[in-house]
Amino acid sequence: MTIIYCCQLELHDSVYFATREIGRLYETEPVIHNYALCYALGLVDSEIYATTVAQEDSYRYFCPEQVPKYEEHLTPLNNQGIYVTPAHSINHTSVLNTWKYANNNYHVEMEKTQKNIPSFGRAKEIAPESQFEFFIISQKDIELKGKLPKWIRLGKWMSKAEVEIHQITKFELKTNDFTFPHPLNPLDVMFTHQVVSYDVINMPPVSLIQNVTIRKGEFYQFENPFNSEKLRIPAKMEYRFKG
């Protein structure tokens, strides 16, 4: 049994993560990667959702090394039939913050500087009250298993965001040519669908695609409960890690 959840989140703090670095400017793209959402929603390494991982890959209590283990952490979600799409902006504004830093060594040998220029940078962040939307496709009612959180943390500053979730009660599974306007993870969709055209959103760890046109693919057709927009979202998506 397939269940689709339409989720909207509203930022209560400014959100920062370095999508791209342009000289001293660190820019945050108004898109939230589906990997980040899985962690923020508490779906990774969870006893509630039966997605626990091996002890050496444990995420819940202590990470012995700062090395991403996306394959080890997200494969259990495939086994449970849980998939989260990236989040696109419904409306957003950006703020530009300038920061400076200095050398805090306790002992410094006085040397003549070559240039009297302070070390600084600028961070382009997504402002509070910005809103995003994403979808969860699950083969079981994860709301019954354990309530999905109303509040989550996002980005480098662990910024606070409020989540509103609506279960989509009416949808159809069809096969035809279709276009999905919002971001998708290309690794998760290209193995099961013939992707004809798309626009690229450059961001780590896997660049996303949007305005995706698919030929003769399976999709779920439904009406967005928030705005009555009619959508066709690809079916059979799951996390993949090798192109």
At residue 80, what is the residue type?
Answer: Q
Residue 182 phi/psi, 5-degree rounding, is -95, 170
What DSSP character marks residue 184?
A: B
Q: Is a pLDDT exceeding 70 seen at residue 104?
A: no
Tell me the pTM: 0.89
What the block records as the tokens of 162 is: 């409020």
pLDDT tens-digit readout, 119-132: 678 889 999 999 99
What the block records as the tokens of 164 is: 């509103």
10 Å CB burial of residue 32 (0-12, 13-18, 19+) is buried
Asked whether 181 and 209 are in contact (CB, 8 A), the reply is no
Residue 205: asked if its preceding bond is cis (omega within 30°), the reply is yes
Residue 40: other Cβ atoms inside 10 A = 22
pLDDT tens-digit readout, 127-167: 999 999 999 999 988 876 567 899 999 999 899 999 999 99
Q: Is a pLDDT exceeding 60 seen at residue 115?
A: no
What DSSP character marks residue 205?
A: S
Tell me how far apart the alpha carbons of residues 52 and 87 are, in angstroms, rounded to a whole number.
24
Q: Is a pLDDT exceeding 90 seen at residue 20?
A: no
10 Å CB burial of residue 237 (0-12, 13-18, 19+) is buried
